[in-house]
Amino acid sequence: MGVYERQKKEKEILEGAISLFASKGYHSTKMDEVAKQAKMSKGLIYFYYKNKEDLYMAVTKKAYEQLKEIFRDTQKTKGKSGIDLITLLIDQFIQLTTENKMYQEAILNFMGLMAQYNDPEKRKLMDPQILDSPNFNELLEIHHDPAKIGIQLISHGVRDGSMRPDLQPEITFYTIWTMMIGYERLMGPIEYEKKEVKISQENWKNGFIKLIHEMLKGTVQAQRPTAVQGSLF
């Protein structure tokens, strides 16, 4: 089997799996259904992916690749300041998570797995099929790639003067990414018609970006205890 044919089959399997995981959820999806969706035999599915856990890790890897592409495309945008690039990144991230929530769920699931994996005792309780997954082990090598680019964007903003000079790029980026993930998680509750807190999606997004700008520029007004020294981040 040639490389092109193999890649084509893998793509068809992943597309079928993503569709089923998105509509039915990971736990309710069976490999038989993936084979049917991809229009190939179950045996062929197992030729490409060891089990459902490995297949889900392959979907997760694709999600991270899409995420990295967003970061990379943002970084390649010419003629923009660092703070403008962060704004563009937020917009692109929101678009990705809105159009393909399956990717965001897979990414968040992997972050949870990493919390277990980094603890020697908790790692013993992880599913052996995940630990043995070739795609999981590839994810261990690539999952920091988007963050590396994000840190470079912050460094760019500090250098060009669009962000305050005392920012620590690593801490600052991970703080912003935490806020981006939280924003996506709250989109559902914010959109719920019966919510008691009255805020529109548009106003919330504009306010969210404005607050990040103020944090990065150093225009957030707050009283600081005189005994405390150091930067916000």
pLDDT of 7 higher than 90 = no
pLDDT of 42 higher than 60 = yes
Q: Does 231 or 146 have the greater pLDDT score?
A: 146
Please give the mean pLDDT across all residues of the chain. Answer: 90
Q: Which residues, 6 or more positions from 175, have their beta carbon under 8 angstroms from its beta carbon?
A: 233
Per residue in 101-140, pLDDT (tens digit) is: 899 999 999 999 999 999 999 999 999 999 999 999 999 9
Q: Where are the chain's structural domains?
A: 1-48, 51-217
pLDDT score of 229: 46
pLDDT score of 134: 96
Tokens 């995940």 sit at which residue? 130
* C-alpha separations of 123 from 52, 94, 130, 139, 142 in Å: 20, 32, 11, 16, 19
pLDDT score of 222: 42
Cα–Cα dist 142/137, whole Å: 9
pLDDT score of 3: 80
pLDDT of 182 higher than 70 = yes
pLDDT band at 192 (very low <50, low <70, confident <90, very high): confident
User: What's the predicted TM-score (pTM) here?
Assistant: 0.87
pLDDT band at 190 (very low <50, low <70, confident <90, very high): confident
1-48: CATH number: 1.10.10.60
Q: Which CATH number fits domain 51-217: 3.40.50.920, 3.30.750.210, 1.10.357.10, 3.40.50.300?
A: 1.10.357.10
